[in-house]
Amino acid sequence: MSERLAPEQADSLPDIPEPAENVHLVGHDEAACRFATSWRTGKMHHGALVTGPQGIGKATLAFHLAFHMLTQRDRPHAPDTLVPPAAGHPVWRQIASGAHPSVLHLTRPPRDTGGGFKNFITVDEIRRLGHFLSMTSHDGSWRIVIVDAAEQMNTAAANALLKNLEEPPRDTLFVLISHSPGRLLPTIRSRCQVHRLRPLGDDDLMAAMGALSEDVPPDAGARAKLVQLAEGSVRRALLLTRHGGLDVAQAVDKVLDSARFDTGEAIRIGQALAARDAEIALDLFNRHVTDRLGRDAVSAAQAGDTPMANRLAGLWEEARQTIIERETYNLDKRQHVTGLLQRLHGAING
C-alpha cells in the first residue's frame, strides 16, 4: 500500500486509494478528450455535471481534470487529452492531500461527535465556497470546485450552490459528481454541461481493479462471475471480493435455482449475514437479489412470458420495500434474509 495523502471520506474503502490519489483513469477516454479540448480551445463551461453509476471513475476523472488545468497553463498548446498525473508530482500531491489552494473538494463532513460522517453535504460545507472564491489565485490559475456526490446536498446546501452556479465567478469550474442526477434540483442541472459516463467494460473493469488492489480473482470463472455482478463498477467489484459477495451470490443462486426450497441452506445464509461484522455482505445480498429479479423480469418479458415478467416485477418492488423497511426499523436480519429467499424461490419456481 502506497502512502496515503487524501483525508478519509464517507465512502472510503480500507487500503484503496481515494479518487484524489488515484493516478489511473481507465475507460473514459471520450470524456477526458472532451474536457481537454474544452480547456485547450478556451470553451470550458463553468459547470460540469458528471453522471453515472457509483464506482466507475467519475471523481477520479474530476481530479485528473483539475491536475490537467493546473499544470497545462499554456492552453493553446495543451494536449488533446488529459495529462495523467505522476504520483510524486508536487501539484498532484497537493491536490490529493486537499492542500492545493485552487482546488476545493466538498463532501459529506464528519459528524460533530461520535465519529462517522453526516448523512448530507450541509450548507456549512457549501459556505466554504465564499472564502475559497474570495481568495485571489496565488498564480492566476483557475479554481476548481468538486462536489461529491452532488445529490447528497441537503436543500439548504443545494440552494446555496445554485446561487454560485447562477453567477459563476471568473475562471472557476464547478464539477458536480452525481450517481443519481434525477435527485438534483432541475435548476442546478440546467446550469451545467452534462457528461454521462458509462459503466466500465469487462477488460477496463479488471484493469482498473488491478491498478488499485491485488484482489482480482486468479480463476477465470470467478473473474467472469465478478464482471457479471459488478456491472462495470470498480467499487462494487472490490466490495464483492473483499466481503464475500461472490460467495453470497453463489449461495443465493443455488437456493433460488433448486427445484425444492432448501430451508437449511437459507437459514445458514441468514445466520451468516446477521453477524455483527456482515453489514456490507448483507447490503451485497440485498443488491444481488433485486438485481437478479430485475434481470429475470427483463428476460421473461423478452421471451414473451408476460405473466412471469409481471410477477417478477411485482416481487422486485416488494423486495425493495422489504429492504427499506428492515433498514428503517432495524428488523431481524436473519428473518429478513430467509423470508426474502423463500418468497423469491416461490415466485421463480412457482
Q: pLDDT (tens digit, 9 = 90+) per residue, 43-66? A: 999 999 999 999 999 999 999 999
Would the pLDDT of 3 be above 90? no
Angle at 183 between CA 181 and CA 186, to 5 degrees: 80
CATH of domain 29-196: 3.40.50.300
Mean pLDDT for all residues in the chain: 95
Q: What DSSP string runs through 296-331?
A: HHHHHHHTT-HHHHHHHHHHHHHHHHHHHHHHHHT-
pLDDT band at 2 (very low <50, low <70, confident <90, very high): low
Q: Quick: pLDDT tens for 294-313.
A: 999 999 999 999 999 999 99
State mean pLDDT over 263-268.
98
Alpha-carbon distance of 83 to 326, in angstroms, equals 46
Alpha-carbon distance of 338 to 105, in angstroms, equals 42
Alpha-carbon distance of 170 to 213, in angstroms, equals 40
pLDDT band at 347 (very low <50, low <70, confident <90, very high): confident
Alpha-carbon distance of 254 to 227, in angstroms, equals 19
Nearest C-alpha neighbor of 230 from the set 197, 202, 198: 202
pLDDT band at 93 (very low <50, low <70, confident <90, very high): very high
pLDDT at position 14 is 87
State mean pLDDT over 281-293.
94
pLDDT band at 186 (very low <50, low <70, confident <90, very high): very high
> What b/e readout covers 97-120, taking b as 16+ CB neighbours within 10 angstroms?
eeebebbbbbbbeeeeeeeeebeb
pLDDT at position 176 is 99
Question: 105 with 148: CB under 8 angstroms?
Answer: yes
Q: Quick: pLDDT tens for 219-237.
A: 999 999 999 999 999 999 9
Q: Quick: pLDDT tens for 65-79.
A: 999 999 999 999 999
CA dihedral 148, 154, 157, 158 (to 10 degrees): 80
pLDDT at position 202 is 97
Residues in the chain: 350
pLDDT band at 138 (very low <50, low <70, confident <90, very high): low
Q: Quick: pLDDT tens for 147-182.
A: 999 999 999 999 999 999 999 999 999 999 999 999
Distances (CA, A) of 119 to 6, 183, 303: 20, 15, 42
pLDDT at position 349 is 84
Establish whether the linkage from the previous residue to 149 is cis, with ω within 30° of 0.
yes
Would the pLDDT of 1 be above 50? no
pLDDT at position 292 is 92
Would the pLDDT of 322 be above 80? yes
Would the pLDDT of 95 be above 90? yes
Residue with grid cell 462471475, as numbered in its chain? 225
| Domain map (residue ranges) of the chain | 29-196, 243-349
**What letter represents residue 29's amino acid?**
D
Alpha-carbon distance of 212 to 237, in angstroms, equals 11
Question: 196 with 180: CB under 8 angstroms?
Answer: no
Would the pLDDT of 187 be above 60? yes
pLDDT at position 115 is 86
